[in-house]
Amino acid sequence: MASKLGLLFGILKTATLMSFQIVFVIGEPQVPCYFIFGDSLVDSGNNNGLVTAAKANYTPYGVDFPQGVTGRFTNGLTMADIIGQLLGFSNFIPSYAMTNNGEINSGVNYGSGGAGIRDETGRNLGDRISMNKQLLRHATIVSRLSNLQRNKTFTNEYIQKCIYIIYMGSNDYINNYLMPNNYSTSTKYTPDQYATVLIQQYSQQLKSLYELGARKIAVFGLGFIGCTPYEISTFGTNGEPCVESINNATMLFNKRLKPLIDDLNNAFFDARFTFINISSISASQGAVLTNVSCCQTRSDGQCVPNSVPCSNRTMYTYYDGFHPTEIANRLLASRSYAALSPMDASPYDISHLAQL
Ligand SMILES: *[C@@H]1O[C@H](CO)[C@@H](O)[C@H](O)[C@H]1NC(C)=O
Ligand SMILES: *[C@@H]1O[C@H](CO)[C@@H](O)[C@H](O)[C@H]1NC(C)=O
Ligand SMILES: *[C@@H]1O[C@H](CO)[C@@H](O)[C@H](O)[C@H]1NC(C)=O
Ligand SMILES: *[C@@H]1O[C@H](CO)[C@@H](O)[C@H](O)[C@H]1NC(C)=O
Ligand SMILES: *[C@@H]1O[C@H](CO)[C@@H](O)[C@H](O)[C@H]1NC(C)=O
Ligand SMILES: *[C@@H]1O[C@H](CO)[C@@H](O)[C@H](O)[C@H]1NC(C)=O
């Protein structure tokens, strides 16, 4: 393992973002299974059958994905896909929507565009699988796994070895707090109070995940939502590079999330939670065009169906108004997996979480 990590670090140090290549690990994955919770940043098709504007099962999404259009909200691989490859999984983890005929032994992807920590989040777009619903789905998967494996003790031990990633909270801002005409949260709470209520609810949800057997849990902080092309064009930047008030609000969430992770580690001595600092990682992004979308966008920030995207996708940080391009996802995933700075992940990056 040490040599594999050393190689990865060496490559990361010398690679520019443009020539960046992921190292594929040959053989068995490092952990038996990998479960993915979150929103459109990790969704791999769970929304395709839902009545919602938050679905990406049309071109130009998937233009660089091996199977083309799948429902992923980017041109190619999501961050969750790339982390899976780094963990040594040779296939993509199936979406919950596909698990009727798919493998559940290696994990399930519950990600759903528009979903949030709060149940009402994203209702302006239509149906979505909120964090609470994703946890209910996970409970059914755990019991199906238990039935398949026919040995409860074995299943309990098995699911403790899995990696769980959760990337939630962006929509609680984008499709809730920042839409005062559709949601009352911004009149009810100051940004500080809102971060507090979100973290309280998130804390309960992370405890539920623990109660469902998870022991190696990576929780992602929020990125610079105020720097997304959609928020820049919606709110304006007052001469700054980004919408500062939005970044300030989401940083309050991050500031409370990190101590929550420490509290959970203290409360559950047999579990390892870790905080992935996406703001730290994305502060050093290398793409040239960071504030414009690669594809033509609709009024809701998603790509215009069947439009022609930019030809040089490695030059763009954002594919549509919100979602990173694959090249940006590669940077986010690789530093979540193998931290380049002590700020990137604490207390563990995902490669270390896998080995614990
Ligand atoms: C959200 O608010 C806008 C502006 O008031 C309104 O036009 C729209 O219908 C609302 N959408 C939903 C889903 O409530
Ligand atoms: C069930 O799994 C446990 C843990 O792997 C193992 O020790 C035990 O022998 C298994 N029981 C049966 C009946 O196979
Ligand atoms: C954002 O936070 C910074 C640092 O605390 C502060 O200087 C700035 O005025 C804030 N900006 C807005 C728009 O709230
Ligand atoms: C994330 O990293 C940034 C930059 O490295 C740092 O300023 C910030 O405090 C970190 N966030 C948290 C919640 O630790
Ligand atoms: C994007 O950033 C460039 C360079 O900083 C700036 O000139 C341009 O006005 C920005 N565009 C938008 C839409 O904010
Ligand atoms: C894409 O952009 C990169 C970085 O600016 C440049 O090196 C490369 O030649 C461009 N490729 C194409 C096909 O435009």
Task: Assess whether pLDDT exceeds 90 at residue 5.
Answer: no
How would you class 9 by CB atoms within 10 Å of its CB: exposed for 0-12, middle for 13-18, buried for 19 or more?
middle
Ligand with smallest separation from the Cα of 222? 4
Select the more confidently predicted residue: 238 or 36. 36
Please, what is the end-to-end C-alpha distance for the chain in angstroms?
12
Q: Per-residue pLDDT tens for 151-184? A: 999 999 999 999 999 999 999 999 999 999 999 9
Query: Looking at residues 113-123, what average pLDDT do you find?
Result: 98
Please give the C-alpha separations between residue 314 and each of 201, 216, 329, in angstroms, as whole numbers. 37, 32, 11
Q: Would you say the CB of residue 312 lies under 6 angstroms from ligand 6?
A: yes
Rounded to 5 degrees, φ, ψ at 167 are -125, 90
Cβ(216)–Cβ(163) below 8 Å: yes
Q: What's the mean pLDDT in 93-115?
A: 91
pLDDT tier at 99, thresholds 50, 70, 90: confident
Q: What percent of the chain has pLDDT over 90?
A: 87
Measured from the CB, is residue 289 less than 6 Å from ligand 6? no
Q: Indicate whether 287 pLDDT > 70.
A: no
Cα–Cα dist 165/122, whole Å: 21
Kindly tell me if the per-residue pLDDT of 16 is higher than 60: no
pLDDT in tens, 229-253: 999 999 999 999 999 999 999 999 9
Cα(151) to ligand 5 centroid in Å equals 58
User: What per-residue confidence (pLDDT) applies to 289?
Assistant: 80
- Mean pLDDT value of segment 324-340: 95
Q: How far apart are CA 260 and CA 203, in angstroms?
A: 7
Q: Which ligand is nearest to the CA of 158?
A: 2
> How does the average pLDDT of the chain come out, rounded?
91
Widest pairwise Cα distance in the chain: 62
Helices (H) and strands (E) in the chain, counts: 12, 7
Ligand 5 atom, smallest distance to 232 CA: 14
Q: How far is the CA of 233 from the centre of ligand 6 (A)?
A: 26
The alpha carbon of 301 and the centre of ligand 5 are apart by a number of angstroms equal to 17
**Res. 150: pLDDT tops 70:** yes
232 in contact with ligand 5, CB cutoff 6 A:
yes
Distances (CA, A) of 337 to 48, 159, 224, 355: 29, 20, 20, 12
Q: Which atom of ligand 5 is nearest to the CA of 233?
A: 13
CB atoms within 10 A of CB 254: 20
pTM for the full predicted model: 0.91
Residues labelled as active-site residues: 40, 320, 323
Q: Is the CB of 300 under 6 A from ligand 3?
A: no
- Number of structural domains the chain divides into: 1
Contact at 8 Å (CB) between 245 and 226? yes
CA of 315 to the centre of ligand 6 (A): 7
Is residue 294 within 8 Å of 309, Cβ to Cβ? yes
Rounded to 5, what percent of the chain is helix, strand, coil? 40, 10, 50
Question: Could you tell me the distance, in angstroms and rounded to a whole number, from the CA of residue 133 to the centre of ligand 6?
Answer: 42
Give the pLDDT of residue 12: 34
For residues 326 and 24, give the distance between their C-alpha atoms in angstroms, rounded to a whole number: 16
Q: Is 200 in the pocket of ligand 3 (CB under 6 A)?
A: no
Ligand nearest to the CA of 178: 1
CA dist., res. 123 & res. 113, Å (int): 11
250 C-beta closer than 6 A to ligand 4: no
Q: Return the higher-pLDDT residue of 286 and 323.
A: 323
The reported pLDDT for the residue numbered 103 is 84
Ligand nearest to the CA of 183: 1
Helix (H) or strand (E) run with residue 164 in it: strand 163-167
Q: Is 30 near ligand 4, meaning CB less than 6 Å away?
A: no
In this structure, of 108-117, 281-290, 291-300, the range with the lowest mean pLDDT score is 281-290
Domain with residue 14: its CATH number is: 3.40.50.1110
Q: Which band of pLDDT confidence, cut at 50, 70 and 90, is reported for residue 290? A: confident
Q: What is the best residue among 231, 232, 244 to mutate for testing ligand 3's pocket, by most ligand atoms within 8 Å of CB?
A: 244
- Cβ of 291 closer than 6 Å to ligand 5, yes or no, is yes
Its domain, for residue 136, covers: 2-355
Mean pLDDT confidence for 143-155: 94
- Closest residue CA from atom 14 of ligand 3: 245
Please report which confidence band the pLDDT of residue 102 belongs to, taking 50, 70 and 90 as the band edges. low
